[in-house]
Amino acid sequence: MAQFQYNAMDTGGKPVTGTIDAPQMQEAISKLKGMGFFVTSVAPARTVAVSQKGKEKAKAQAAPQAAKKTKAKGGKGLSFGAAKIKPKELTIITRQLATLIGAGLPLLRSLKVLREQRKGGASMVLAKLSDDIESGSLFSEALAKNPGSFPKIYVSMVKAGEAGGALETVLTRLAEFMEKEAKLRGKIKSAMAYPAVILVVTVGILGFIMLKIVPTFIDIFKDMEAGELPGPTVLLMKISEFMTKKSIIIVIFLIAMVILFKILNRIKFSKFYIDKIKMRMPVFGPVVSKSIVARFARTFATLITSGVPILQSLQIVRDTTGNEVVSKGINEVRNRVREGEGIAGPMLKAKVFPPMVTNMMAVGEETGAMDAMLEKIAEAYESEVDAAVSAMTSMIEPMLIVFLGGIVGFIVISLFMPLIKLAMGLSGG
């Protein structure tokens, strides 16, 4: 049995300080919450007993070592703030952490076990989490100090799990949520990979033809004194000459367009219209819209099921949709809910969600099973994303073939029309 020093507030909002006996820190926190206290910090008594002078001495001793490490790395020392856990690795860590806690290991011990199994940025972040918890921070507070590794939804769900004493359950839900999110993103990326490759190959072939093949034919026409050339041939020659002489300008223009698009995509006002165009595009629009709805429903359901308050859940969902049009609609819903309205009505007025979603939300709100209804919406729209991705792929393939065939056909006809004219002239003579 260990002793912990705590700082908390009672039901009246007055600060309370004292010590409590418990086998481990999490149980001490649970006891304090059971007593009606709002815990602000908990630390082992031996840690609290360390004097400020001792802390300063420890820092002074650690500073030269840190400086040596930084110097050894060429002056670019990797700090905890720069360390980051990648999303794929975070999913694995979350699943393993839930398993270790479910097996009865304390949180601190579980983090140390995971840290020993990893290297690089993940190991550094886990070490930082362990240090913060040892110094008295809650797990959610330690996570919040590393926003580059742990998104808002992660921190909020862990905080809800701590409050409800169901950290293992919440971590399991988080792992499942991230796995499904990764699966959805993977489907969309794999669907976009094929047209992207075809487009790159098409641009490469056309560039080769316009920069190498067409100039050769231009020289042939000049040597043969073909006379007045057909209109398509003249147009093709002018395009080829422009591309040959102004190739650097074209490259600079394309790079500038990419940079401009990225800048506009970071400005809230312009991003709103870019996202609206994405959702209304003929072929890609359905995939974008349905994937956003699926992500919204899955995220919202996971947050509500984990005990995160409804307003906070809406705020997190708003910030994680990645689409300004839907984010604006969710913000309107949140404002109306904060004023005392339900969810289904404001969602219908926002006009960013399909009728099926708003109708199912209304049923879930009336029956008190909104989390289950959101799960069904997510599953339904994830299936629709699969169908939309398949339809998009089947449509893009013939469209690209027709596009490429049309351009190549135009080039071939334009180049051979003067040759046919010359041949006919020679035959007639």
CATH number of the domain that residue 213 is part of: 1.20.81.30
Mean pLDDT of 419-426: 74
pLDDT recorded at residue 80 = 41
**Residue-by-residue DSSP string for 26-39:** HHHHHHHHHTT-EE
At 227, is the pLDDT very low, low, confident or very high (cuts 50, 70, 90)?
low
Could you tell me how far CA 45 lies from the centroid of its own chain?
A: 41
Say if residue 138 is in the same domain as residue 231.
no
What's the CA gap between 379 and 383, in Å, rounded?
A: 6
Tell whether the model's pLDDT for residue 426 goes beyond 70.
no
Whether 58 is in a domain gets the answer no
At 78, is the pLDDT very low, low, confident or very high (cuts 50, 70, 90)?
very low
Say if residue 419 is in the same domain as residue 335.
yes
Cβ–Cβ under 8 Å, residues 342 and 365: yes
B/e letters for 13-31, b = 16+ CB within 10 Å, e = fewer, are eeebeeebebebbbbbbeb
Say if residue 127 is in the same domain as residue 39.
no
Measured between alpha carbons, how far apart are the two ends of the chain, in Å?
112
At 273, is the pLDDT very low, low, confident or very high (cuts 50, 70, 90)?
very high
Structural domain including 225 reads 177-429
pLDDT recorded at residue 263 = 93
Tell whether the model's pLDDT for residue 318 goes beyond 50.
yes
Pairing mode of beta strands 38-44, 2-9: antiparallel
Instruction: Rounding to the nearest 10 degrees, give the CA dihedral for residues 114, 117, 119, 122.
Output: -20
Say if residue 138 is in the same domain as residue 181.
no
At 258, is the pLDDT very low, low, confident or very high (cuts 50, 70, 90)?
very high
Whether 274 is in a domain gets the answer yes
Say if residue 215 is in the same domain as residue 346.
yes
Type of residue numbered 393: T
> Total structural domains in the chain?
3
pLDDT recorded at residue 256 = 95
Mean pLDDT of 96-120: 85
DSSP helix/strand/coil, 228: coil
- Least confident among 66-80, 274-288, 318-332, 389-403: 66-80
Tell whether the model's pLDDT for residue 32 goes beyond 60.
yes
Give the containing element (helix H, strand E) for 99: helix 87-102
What's the CA gap between 9 and 255, in Å, rounded?
A: 57
Say if residue 185 is in the same domain as residue 95.
no
Mean pLDDT of 313-323: 85
Encode pLDDT of 388-404 as tens digits. 888 887 888 788 888 88
Mean pLDDT of 61-74: 41
Tell whether the model's pLDDT for residue 311 goes beyond 70.
yes
Tell whether the model's pLDDT for residue 66 goes beyond 90.
no
Encode pLDDT of 171-217 as tens digits. 888 888 888 888 888 877 877 787 788 788 888 888 888 888 888 88
Rounded to the nearest integer, the mean pLDDT of the chain is 80
Encode pLDDT of 37-49 as tens digits. 766 667 776 544 4
What's the CA gap between 142 and 107, in Å, rounded?
A: 12
C-alpha to C-alpha distances, 399 to 223, 279, 281, 362, nearest whole angstrom: 39, 20, 15, 41
Whether 286 is in a domain gets the answer yes
CATH value at residue 26: 3.10.20
Tell whether the model's pLDDT for residue 5 goes beyond 50.
yes
pLDDT recorded at residue 252 = 93
pLDDT recorded at residue 9 = 61
Say if residue 191 is in the same domain as residue 106.
no
Type of residue numbered 221: F
Whether 36 is in a domain gets the answer yes
At 55, is the pLDDT very low, low, confident or very high (cuts 50, 70, 90)?
very low
At 232, is the pLDDT very low, low, confident or very high (cuts 50, 70, 90)?
confident
Tell whether the model's pLDDT for residue 52 goes beyond 60.
no
DSSP helix/strand/coil, 22: strand
- The upper half-sphere exposure of residue 401, i.e. CA atoms within 13 Å in the direction of its Cβ, equals 6
Say if residue 198 is in the same domain as residue 279.
yes
At 63, is the pLDDT very low, low, confident or very high (cuts 50, 70, 90)?
very low
Encode pLDDT of 124-164 as tens digits. 888 898 888 888 888 888 888 888 888 888 888 888 877 76
Whether 285 is in a domain gets the answer yes
DSSP helix/strand/coil, 278: helix
Could you tell me how far CA 349 lies from the centroid of its own chain?
A: 28
What's the CA gap between 258 and 264, in Å, rounded?
A: 10
Whether 409 is in a domain gets the answer yes
β partners of residue 4: 20, 44
How is residue 405 written in tokens? 């065939």
Which of 153, 187, 184 lies closest to 170 in space, CA to CA?
153
Whether 164 is in a domain gets the answer no
